[in-house]
Structures are given as C-alpha cells and as structure tokens.
C-alpha cells in the first residue's frame, strides 16, 4: 500500500517509480518533484507535481499532452492504452460507444488534432471522480474545440493535473468523502428549478421552497436544530454543550440566477452541514454554537432587490419591500403568506429574525470564486480580502416609436440606439480602471417589432469596485453621460437605484485563521478580492466576516450551467473549515 509516508521516505528513483502511472508516460515530472520532499499532505504533493509541469518548457508540456491517447481513439481500439487510461475510458463507457458516438468522436479527434496539434484531454472521471457520461464528454469536446490554442493548451494541462489528482487518490486510497457528499447534495437540489431547462430557483417559488425543505432535512440529519424563518432563511444550529456559548455563523444563499450554476451559494450552505454531520457522527461538539444559514434570497431575481435573507438577519430588512411586485404582479408580502406565514405576524416575525452583535463571534462564508484567478494559479483555495461594493440601477428610456421605412434617420428618437450608446459608455468608463467593472446585464425593447423604431428600451446597470469612492465616481459619470445622451437624442430617461452595497473588508484575524488552516493543508495562502457580491457583505454590518473561495473550472465561469468545481476542492475547503472551527479560540 502506497502512503504519503512511504512516498516521502523512498529514495528518489523509487519515489519516481511509485508515481509512474500518475502522469501518462512522463516520469520526468515525479523525478523533478522528488527533491522537494517531504510533502506534508497529498494536496502538497499534487501541487508540487503541478508546479513541475507548469514551470517546464513549453515543448516538454507539449510532449506531456501528446503522451495522452485520443478518447475512444486508435490506441483504445488497438488495446494499447495504459492500465489507468483503459479503466478511465471504460468508467465513462467510452468502450461502449454507439456507431454514431464513435463516428462523432473520430470526427472531433481529427478536427481537434488538426487545430491544436495535440489530442483532446479530459478527466473523463469528472468532478466527482465517478465518471462523465458519453454525452457530456462529446459536448465538452465540441465546446472546447472553439477555444483559442493558448486557452486550450492551458485547459488541456489542467485536465492532465485533474487526471493525475484522481490517480493519486486511487494510489493513496484517499477519497474526498466530505467533498463528494457536498457535490452530490448540490446535484440533488440542482435539479429543482422554476423552469424545465436550466437551474432557476427564484425567491419563494415551489422549487425554492422544496430546496429549503431539503436543506432543513439534511441539517436535521446532521444533528442540527433547524427552523425556516419568516423570510425563508433555513437556519440550523449545531449546538455547543454550553447553552450560554456564543455563536459562529456560516452559510450562503440557496436562490440562484436564471439558468445558473449548481454551486453558487449552495456550496456555502451544504459544506458546513457536511462538517456538522461529520462532527455529529463523532459526538464532537464545539466550544461555540455553529449556526449554518441558508439565506433565502441574494440574487434579486424575483423582486429585484438583493440580500433579502441576510438583511433580515442583520436587522436591516426594508419593510417597504413587502409591497414590491414580481413579474406576475404578486407582492413580496403575498409570496411570504403563500409560503405559509401569517400575514398579521409578518412584520414582527421578520424583525424577530435579527441577530444581536454581542451574541456573535463572526461570520465565515465558503463560496466558489466565480472567476478564473485560482484556476489560473493552480490553487484550490483562496482567502478573500474584501468584497467589492456595487451599485445597481434600472433605466427606462422613452423615445418615439415610428415607421422603420419612412422615418428619415435624422428625425428619429430611437430608444434602442440611445441604449446602445449607454452600453458603450458603461464599458468605456469602466475599462482600464483597476478593480472597477460595469455591466449592462439586461437590455430589452418591450413589445418591439422588426419594422418599428424602438420607442421604449429598458436596461440595467451594475457598477462595482473594491473602493467605494472609485465606484461612486464611475456611477456619477455614467448617470451624467446617460443624461447627455438622452438630451442629445430627445429621449426621456427614468432610472431607479435598486442596490447600493458598500465594499466590505474581511476581518484580518479571521483571514489569518483561514490562511493558517490552508497552510496546515500543505497549501500556500493566497489572498484575493471578491468581484462578486455575497451575503458576507451584508453580514459585515453585524459582525466580522471572512470568506474562503474555492476554484472554479471551465475557465472560472459562473452564473451559467457550465459552472463547475471538483469534489477534491470541496474536500479541501471542508478540511480547512473544519480545522478553522476546531482551532478557533473563543
């Protein structure tokens, strides 16, 4: 049985020999990593091997890629695959392709090799290590074919490292049990959606309430005391033996954007539940209450205002929002009543949700990075320094709808043309300014027709920055720019501010504790800014906060069905949070 201890104590040649099958036909990688021993953890060993490859010359990296067989290719047919590749391709049924699938793979192999000069490489055992379906493999193959060579070269190397990680797990007999559990739970609730294609779980819809009930159930099974509060937060407590103990909070949101990903928010709820279950199975209690909150609403999809769940926890819930209406004219108040709460009790029940500062030790949120930074650095985890502040607006432009064929260009009051200038204004103002971003995410011509000049156009603004002064200056310039565009074009503008969230710095003491736990996993601490908003920025109004980021695959994409992560990274995040909790000095 190979263990980390044996790998650390073998001589260099025996070490390299023990890792022969980890990187396909490429012994040079383990040979170069050998002198860096001893490795404190498997994660440290994996990182060292990755760093050998990433620091190698490009032609060595290319030879590594070319050492891999095609999927269901000639080598597979000729039975010339390595033992590892044979079992991996078999685990995904690549040895059982239909004639159509086989023909498609051969066609993709040929085009891919011709375009990139190396074979398509994919960890076919997938995010949980249990195997992708042939359909998912073929879809990924076709999607990555569109990459630039530089991007695809980097992605192919990342897939090689993922294959090596899965092979090392098998060699060492280490399975990411907590991580796989969290991935499975994300998969389960990821199938409950407001519409049949893609994951949309908006506030208090049937899918949202089914998800809440399931999260509550998993909390109960983990030995937690659970209730769902008046705004739909699922609040679970893994209680300390000391009833007077203070409380450390963690959690994230379980609502999603339209057609979103399975891990945004949900990872940060399900991962601490898996930790509570782990502690419960051991009868281990903490010197503080561990409260896990599934915040009911963070994305602002249904009622346009964000952080409804966490704002109730911080005592900053805006009661005026109870009259907000969704696209079907249902008010927030009606939605809460439909979710089973007494109308008369609502205002009091919401204010009763608020937590007291003096009861809390802090709030720590685990969340996917939703960007490419950790992925490109080859790091599974990062410590967040601050969460960017954001300003969101809705803009309505009113021009004159008129005949597309008879109205001379100089006589038009075209609302969509004005909107187009505004999109470029936002892009231009925010480009080139560090840690400032601007987005027009919604842009529509209500009731538009092909042959009618748009008389109306609606759009959204989302401006973010690490520094509030930078953000507010950009907002001022953009709003002034919109007025100038509308004045010049004879367009009437109306705009509503829907979100104003200040940047939230993370607490150095909590960051340091997370960083130390990451280093105890044999990984380097890496700090980074969060461009995405999170419940932690709301919780920062009430207590000190910190965030632990996990790496996102597929180029770091998020708010998209392609959002992905691995069970191994979820496992590392769980081990780091567990260590953080056990080491937390009250």
**Cβ closest to ligand HGY, residue 140 vs residue 538:** 538
> Minimum distance from CB of 532 to ligand HGY (Å)?
4
Residue 533 binds what, of ligand HGY, Mn ion, none (CB under 5 to 8 Å, by partner type)? ligand HGY
**Cβ closest to ligand HGY, residue 272 vs residue 371:** 371
Pair of tokens at residue 369: 């990075």
Indicate whether 70 belongs to the interface with Mn ion (CB under 5 A). Answer: no
**Cβ closest to ligand HGY, residue 180 vs residue 368:** 368
Residue 127 binds what, of ligand HGY, Mn ion, none (CB under 5 to 8 Å, by partner type)? none
Pair of tokens at residue 174: 């280490």
> Minimum distance from CB of 416 to Mn ion (Å)?
28
E-strand ranges in 15-141 read: none
Counting beta carbons within 10 angstroms of the beta carbon of residue 170, is it exposed (0 to 12), middle (13 to 18) or buried (19 or more)?
middle
Q: Are the CB atoms for 108 and 145 separated by under 8 Å?
A: yes
Residue 131 binds what, of ligand HGY, Mn ion, none (CB under 5 to 8 Å, by partner type)? none
What is the total count of residues that contact Mn ion (CB under 5 A)? 2
**Cβ closest to Mn ion, residue 127 vs residue 268:** 268
**Cβ closest to ligand HGY, residue 299 vs residue 365:** 299
In angstroms, rounded to a whole number, what is the distance separating the alpha carbons of residues 108 and 88?
Answer: 19
**Other C-beta atoms within 10 Å of 287: how many?**
16
| Run of H or E residues at 294 | strand 289-295
Q: Cα angle vertex 111, ends 108, 113, to 5°? A: 100
Residue 552 binds what, of ligand HGY, Mn ion, none (CB under 5 to 8 Å, by partner type)? none
Three-class DSSP category at 155: helix
Where helices occur in 343-431 by DSSP H, the ranges are: 346-351, 373-377, 415-430
> Minimum distance from CB of 554 to ligand HGY (Å)?
17
Q: Who contacts 182 (Cβ-Cβ below 8 Å, separation ≥6)?
A: 267, 270, 271, 274, 567, 570, 574
Beta bridge partners of 294: 234, 252
Rounded to the nearest 5 percent, the helix, strand and coil shares of the chain are 45, 15, 40
Three-class DSSP category at 265: coil
**Cβ closest to ligand HGY, residue 31 vs residue 502:** 502
> Minimum distance from CB of 252 to ligand HGY (Å)?
10
> Minimum distance from CB of 338 to ligand HGY (Å)?
24
Site for Mn ion in 260-289 (CB under 5 A): 264-265
Residue 553 binds what, of Mn ion, ligand HGY, none (CB under 5 to 8 Å, by partner type)? none
> Minimum distance from CB of 138 to ligand HGY (Å)?
30
**Cβ closest to ligand HGY, residue 229 vs residue 299:** 299
- Per CB under 6 A, residues contacting ligand HGY are 298-299, 532-533
> Minimum distance from CB of 546 to Mn ion (Å)?
16
Residues in contact with Mn ion by the rule CB under 5 A: 264-265
């Amino acid at each position: 049985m190979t263990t980390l201890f044996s790998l650390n104590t073998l001589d260099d040649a025996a070490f390299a020999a023990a890792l022969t099958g980890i990187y396909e036909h490429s012994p040079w990688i383990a040979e170069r990593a050998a002198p860096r021993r001893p490795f404190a953890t498997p994660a440290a060993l994996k990182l060292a091997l990755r760093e050998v490859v990433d620091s190698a010359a490009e032609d060595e990296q290319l030879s590594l890629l070319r050492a891999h067989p095609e999927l269901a290719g000639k080598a597979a047919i000729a039975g010339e695959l390595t033992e590892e590749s044979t079992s991996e391709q078999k685990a995904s049924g690549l040895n059982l392709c239909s004639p159509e699938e086989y023909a498609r793979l051969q066609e993709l192999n040929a085009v891919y090799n011709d375009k990139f000069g190396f074979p398509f490489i994919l960890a076919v055992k997938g995010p949980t290590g249990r195997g992708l379906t042939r359909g998912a493999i073929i879809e990924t193959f076709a999607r990555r074919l569109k990459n630039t060579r530089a991007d695809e070269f980097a992605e192919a190397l990342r897939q090689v490292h993922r294959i090596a990680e899965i092979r090392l797990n098998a060699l060492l007999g280490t399975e990411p049990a907590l991580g796989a559990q969290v991935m499975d739970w994300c998969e389960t609730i990821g199938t409950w959606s407001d519409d049949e294609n893609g994951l949309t779980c908006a506030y208090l819809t049937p899918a949202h309430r089914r998800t809440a009930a399931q999260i509550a159930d998993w909390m109960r099974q983990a030995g937690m005391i659970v209730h769902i509060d008046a705004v739909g937060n699922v609040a679970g407590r893994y209680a300390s033996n000391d009833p007077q103990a203070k409380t450390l909070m963690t959690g994230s949101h379980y609502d999603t954007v339209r057609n979103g990903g399975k891990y945004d928010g949900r990872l940060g709820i399900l991962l601490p539940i898996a930790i509570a279950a782990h502690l419960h199975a051991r009868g281990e209690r903490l010197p503080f209450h561990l409260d896990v909150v599934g915040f009911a609403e963070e994305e602002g999809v249904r009622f346009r205002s964000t952080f409804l769940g966490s704002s109730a926890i911080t005592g900053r819930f805006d009661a005026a929002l109870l009259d907000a209406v969704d696209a079907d004219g249902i008010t927030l108040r009606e939605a809460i009543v439909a979710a089973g709460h007494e109308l008369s009790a609502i205002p009091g029940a919401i204010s009763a949700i608020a937590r007291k500062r003096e009861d809390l030790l802090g709030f720590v949120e685990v969340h996917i990075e939703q960007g490419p930074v950790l992925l490109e650095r080859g790091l599974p985890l990062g410590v967040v320094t601050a969460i960017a502040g954001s300003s969101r607006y809705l803009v309505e432009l009113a021009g004159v709808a008129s005949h597309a064929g008879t109205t001379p260009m100089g006589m038009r009051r075209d609302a969509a043309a004005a909107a187009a200038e505004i999109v470029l204004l936002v892009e231009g103002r925010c480009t080139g300014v560090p840690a400032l971003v601007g987005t027009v995410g919604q842009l529509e011509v209500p009731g538009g027709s092909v042959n009618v000049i748009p008389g109306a156009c609606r759009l959204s603004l989302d401006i973010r920055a690490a520094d509030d002064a930078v953000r507010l200056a950009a907002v001022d310039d953009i709003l002034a720019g919109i007025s100038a565009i509308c004045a010049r074009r004879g367009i009437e503008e109306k705009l509503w501010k829907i979100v104003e969230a200040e940047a939230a710095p993370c607490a150095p003491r909590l960051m340091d504790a997370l960083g130390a736990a990451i280093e105890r996993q044999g990984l380097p601490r890496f700090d980074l800014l969060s461009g995405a908003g999170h419940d932690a920025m709301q919780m920062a109004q009430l207590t000190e906060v910190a965030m632990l980021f996990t790496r996102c695959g597929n180029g770091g994409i998020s708010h998209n069905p392609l959002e992905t992560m691995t069970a191994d990274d979820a496992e590392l995040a769980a081990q780091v949070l567990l260590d953080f909790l056990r080491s937390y000095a009250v």
